Amino acid sequence: MRVRWQRMLLLAVAASLPLGPRTAAAASAAPPIVPGFERFFSGDKADVAKGGQLLLGELNCVSCHQPGDAPLSRKQAPVLDNVAGRTRVSYLKKFLSDPQAIKPGTTMPNLFADDREKAAKVEALVHFLATTGSLKLTRPDPKIVGLGKDIFHKVGCVACHGPRDDKGQELKTTSVVVPLGDLAVKYSILSLATFLEQPHQVRPSGRMPQIVAGKDAKDVATYLLQAAKVDEQARGSTTYAYYEGTWDKVPDFAKLKPNATGSSGAFSLGVAKRGDNYAIKFEGFFKIDRDGEYKFSVNSDDGSKLYVDGQQVVDNDGVHPPHGGQRVG
């Protein structure tokens, strides 16, 4: 049996009444944070030589350079095996596009900062990584959020990551803490709990200790991800680009700037910000377990088109009431 993954692209447009303008806030970049350096070597009387030695290893400068006669150990990179099975694909895209914006303090360099082909390269990497697994999403259980908060603040998590409120959000502190970023856009409850149980399995050079396991790990993960949005009715997930305007047919999206982008459950129209006068481009993958004939169908109000691996397989375009188009391929 041969298993393949095919890229699927769905273009859809809805038309009717206009709506007012939207606003968006851009995330600001942050410099790398190495807690060991910040705590012990950032003062006026600190041993700057030892601090610099620490940074050489933590920032992985020694991957290319070895200072002096005494070689320093190389910091191992995170393991990417099954990364799409423990991290949301939409997060991977944002992180590769601007690591410091999506996770303040990360030591991951912005590899494509000045690259004219940044978008295409990030897209290619994300599609490649998306083939490594599938993330299982579950809805947070409000009944165990309080238990997770209690564990987080008692077993030692708070010592490195700082105190958090009832909703799992960071509280202001004068201590140097390790930023966690927006965990709800990265993990599922199961994948975060798995990481908390075995942090060195995916980050062999990480300093995160294993201090919770089993139910405690799941409770802490639920507390930290209580704001996560999950569509349990939808199967699979896609990335989307959302546009506002009026069209008689599916527009040329290459000539348009999206009002919003992100990920959604399957082809969920819940990402639309209005009832009409919008268009959405969905992109995702579907698994082919064996060769054979497959029937594709799209029911839409108004126009829609479906592409598989770059080839149009359904044309249900134009302004019309709910109507289905299908093709066998």
pLDDT tens-digit readout, 190-241: 999 999 999 999 988 888 889 999 999 999 999 999 888 765 444 567 888 9
pLDDT given for residue 18 in this prediction: 38
Q: How many helices (H) and strands (E) does the chain have?
A: 10, 8
Q: What is the DSSP string of 269-312?
A: GGG-SSSSSEEEEEEEEEEE-S-S--EEEEEESS-EEEEETTEE
Asked if the model's pLDDT at residue 23 lies above 50, the reply is no
**Confidence band of 15 (pLDDT split at 50, 70, 90):** low
pLDDT given for residue 156 in this prediction: 87
pLDDT given for residue 293 in this prediction: 85
Indicate the length of the chain as a whole number: 329
Q: What is the pTM of this model?
A: 0.57
pLDDT given for residue 16 in this prediction: 45
Per CATH, the number for 142-224 is 2.60.40.420
Amino acid at 52: G
Contact 88, 263 (CB under 8 A): yes
Asked if the model's pLDDT at residue 247 lies above 70, the reply is yes
Distance CA 223, CA 142 (A): 9
Per residue in 91-112, pLDDT (tens digit) is: 899 999 998 888 877 888 888 8
Pick the closest to residue 106 from 28, 169, 207, 33 (CA basis).
33
- Residue-range domain boundaries for the chain: 4-17+235-328, 83-130, 142-224
Residue ranges of alpha helices (H) inside 155-243 are: 157-161, 189-197, 199-202, 214-224
Distance CA 154, CA 151 (A): 5
Q: Residue 68: left if φ>0, alpha if ψ -120 to 50, beta else—which one?
A: left
**Mean pLDDT over all residues of the chain?**
80
SS3 state at 192 = helix
pLDDT given for residue 25 in this prediction: 38
CA distances from 75 to 61, 64, 209, 268, 287 (A): 9, 12, 16, 41, 36
Per residue in 131-190, pLDDT (tens digit) is: 888 888 888 888 889 999 999 999 989 888 888 888 888 888 777 788 888 888 899 999
